[in-house]
Amino acid sequence: MILIIGGGIGGLTLALNLHKAGIPCQIFEAVETIKPLGVGINILPHAMKELSALELESDIAANAVETHEVCFYNRFGQHIYTERRGRFAGYKWPQYSIHRGTLHEILVNAVRERLGPKAFLTGHRFCQLEQDAEKVTAYFYTGTSKQILKPYRGTALVGCDGIKSAVRGLFYEKDDPLIYSGITMWRGVTRQQPFLSGASMIYAGWLKTGKVIAYPIAKLDNGMQIVNWLCEFYCSPRSPSGDWGQAGNVDDFLWSCEEMNFPWLNIPQMVKDAEYILEYPMVDKEPLTKWSFGRATLLGDAAHPMYPRGSNGAGQAIIDARILADSLSVESDEVVAFVKYEKERLPKTTAIVHANRTNPPDAILREVYERSGDKPFKSMKNIITKDELYELSDQYKKIAGFQVSMT
């Protein structure tokens, strides 16, 4: 029995992969009641490959928008570059944009249907771990109690409990701080008319003056869409706690997109019309040199928290889950399987953490901002070549593992 700590995207995907491999497991989630959290998320082709193998694509497709293209603009609305995405770019698997809460619900339902309702326990807050040569014992607080510990025995344990991982804290209690990037993002969802192709993702502006990303995540019966958006820029620290649910205020960031009223999308109005706004000071942690400790290991944000760039946080957790399940299915010793998994995944995710800091997928906007002096241009060819634009985009895809040739 594999004990999975954390019922997020990584933990749920791991459970489904283990079940597929015939390996018993149990998920323990700290919150008592599962609620839809967050805003939009992109499932890139390399992650969609894994979810398709779990027979989840039809459920995702019914509740998402298949992304056709990504379009880059400066803050004056001038077009810089467009590239196709997913199947429209030659991938075997699509790219979907979906509400994170909807994706989570799909995964929860799949776990409960396939593994049974008792496989996913809520209201269990992990606090302690003991292990010997053959077993682990995990201890949890349940309900409102902070005194009575409830033990569960298993053959191994996987910490999938996010950027504030209690499992990680057992092994890295000190010198493991959240590192603030200097960038804060505000995120929201708005019901509105489709823009561009109706399946386009847009990047506009740059972090020095304000950057915007927007894309549809659901279609409504009246022809409208639910559009996910974010505004971000460099600013002084704003409680960088790693809390995805922190409420935001439109007055704190509206200035950063106020001039971006384009003929095809009124960004300031979209922001003002948001159903709700969340604030997230962008943080990560220094990559670890070791994830596995005997019969315990880490996965997803617990192992490699990274800036939310290029939809790679959830995507890499989904890939972690399949690789770990594969290792456990071919190795009779969980300790050996964990070492094999770590050897495969740790270097790759470390490279992505570093790339998200220095050369993220929106580096195209940075290059145009710097070369143009943040001024309107007369011709793109005088600023940057198409080959350079392609190379900037392709370089990140290669690091993150979703070039067409790699999926």
pLDDT tens, 37-71? 778 999 999 999 999 999 999 999 999 999 999 99
In this predicted structure, the answer to whether residue 271 has a pLDDT above a threshold of 60 is yes
pLDDT band at 242 (very low <50, low <70, confident <90, very high): low
Q: For the chain, which residues make up each domain, given as ranges?
A: 2-36+100-177+288-357, 66-94+180-285+361-406
pLDDT at 358: 84
pLDDT at 360: 77
CATH number for domain 66-94+180-285+361-406, candidates 3.40.30.10, 3.30.9.30, 3.40.50.720, 3.10.129.10: 3.30.9.30
The topology (CATH level 3) of 2-36+100-177+288-357 is FAD/NAD(P)-binding domain (3.50.50)
Percent of the chain with pLDDT over 70: 96
Placement of tokens 């298949």 in the chain: 66
As a whole number of angstroms, the distance between CA 111 and CA 116 comes to: 7
As a whole number of angstroms, the distance between CA 173 and CA 167 comes to: 10
As a whole number of angstroms, the distance between CA 211 and CA 234 comes to: 10
**17 and 107 Cβ atoms separated by less than 8 Å:** no
Rounded to the nearest integer, the mean pLDDT of the chain is 92
Per-residue pLDDT tens over the stretch 354-402: 988 887 778 899 999 999 999 999 988 889 888 888 888 888 778 777 7
Number of H helices, E strands in the chain: 10, 20
pLDDT at 406: 53
Segments of 170-317 assigned E as strands: 179-192, 200-206, 210-219, 225-234, 261-262, 265-266, 276-284, 296-298
pTM of this prediction?
A: 0.94
